[in-house]
Structure 1
């Protein structure tokens, strides 16, 4: 039986575990000087005109060099992505991947408007925001100092990121992630359920994607 760190890793749901692993490996690769951040950031010119499409993926896995800010974003993303995948998306891996994929595409589209070359923290705030809206009565203890209700969690984390980095520009990506997370939540929990009365292509993964992930169709 797996023990220690191996047991902890295997208990993390697959989508969150894969995202976490790629993010850590990406930062270690930069730290080891195998690649540079200049090879990972996203821009339309580099990705489409210069023939470097991998930037559309690497921008979502680089949380910066290993630092306090790196640990902060990685910890909260892993915690709430895991909780969301284990609750709302239990046995629905394709649907969770579909949420993240749609959010990533939207972030790629709006990134030039906010000058965001790296979108990892923005995407990380999508599951945080989604979880907070789906568990509105859950109390959250922040660092053992204050207790807030779940809907205030994204705002509190954005404020902490602002304080940690000393400038509001550093929290801009987190704010954009909250906005995209709100769109994802609205489509699934308000528009689809209350206005459409059923699932849509935006709220549920396509059948082929479900088969790819081995979900029941």
Structure 2
């Protein structure tokens, strides 16, 4: 019964969030038994001169050895990726995949200049940033100590990362790419004379978008990012 319940819960996760989170967990499990991080990290010379193309993907999938940092990143990745897919990207799977590709491309481009070897944490911050800007009136609670509105969440996470002794370059990269996407997708098209620059390719729409919604689909409410003491929130006035 427990296995069946877990399986059903797993299958209720929307497809992109399920695929990405699962790939991250499996990559970490593989590092424990089969491979090493040296086979995964971002290295432009190995990618473009030795054609180790898989590194363009695997550097987004490894978050370090199992420990607090890994669990922290996995929880935030799962929660905010899922809330985006079930919230503002509901019924727009192709657009969500395009955001993944656009964000991954920009991070890879910037990664050439900032010497980062793994970009998964920056990608998580990007997802958090986009969610926070699309839910500006949600009140957040961090570890039960700090109350703030959602748009400040990426900066709070950056401060927490700094307290843990980590480099903030990764967080700044995620915030920068998240802001570029949010501006091009949500802000600029709504300005006088603005146009929509980011257009999801029709091939992605043909692959990922389906006309009929599953009537049994049970989304996770986007405005309730709680469940964990360091990321609870509620909408103002609710």
Length-normalised TM-score, structure 1: 0.91
Q: Which residue of 1 aligns with 2:47?
A: 47
Counterpart Cα distance in 2 of 1:13 and 1:196? 35
Counterpart Cα distance in 2 of 1:145 and 1:23? 30
Counterpart mapping for 1:12-161 below 5 A: 12-32=13-33, 34-161=34-161
Counterpart Cα distance in 2 of 1:215 and 1:206? 15
Counterpart Cα distance in 2 of 1:40 and 1:106? 19
Q: Does the 8 A contact of 2:91 with 2:209 survive in 1?
A: no
Q: SS where residue 51 of structure 1 aligns?
A: coil
1:208 aligns with 2:203: yes
Equivalenced residue count is: 210
- Cα RMSD (Å): 1.7
Q: Which residue of 1 aligns with 2:8?
A: 7
Q: Does the 8 A contact of 2:188 with 2:196 survive in 1?
A: no
1:182 aligns with 2:183: no
Counterpart Cα distance in 2 of 1:197 and 1:109? 26
Q: Does the 8 A contact of 2:47 with 2:55 survive in 1?
A: yes
Offset, 1:146: 2.2
Counterpart Cα distance in 1 of 2:93 and 2:195? 19
Q: Does the 8 A contact of 1:41 with 1:55 survive in 2?
A: yes
- More helix by proportion, 1 or 2? 1
Offset, 1:198: 5.2
Q: Does the 8 A contact of 2:92 with 2:209 survive in 1?
A: no
Q: Which residue of 1 aligns with 2:231?
A: none
- Write the deviation string for residues 143-171 of structure 1: whole angstroms up to 9, x where unpaired: 2332211000000111112222x24x2x3
Offset, 1:196: 5.0
Q: Does the 8 A contact of 2:188 with 2:195 survive in 1?
A: no
Counterpart mapping for 1:156-175 below 5 A: 156-164=156-164, 166-167=165-166, 169=167, 171-175=168-172
Q: Using CA pairs under 8 Å that are at least 6 residues apart, name the structure with larger relative contact order, 1 or 2.
A: 2
Length-normalised TM-score, structure 2: 0.83
Q: Does the 8 A contact of 1:94 with 1:215 survive in 2?
A: no
Counterpart Cα distance in 1 of 2:21 and 2:113? 27
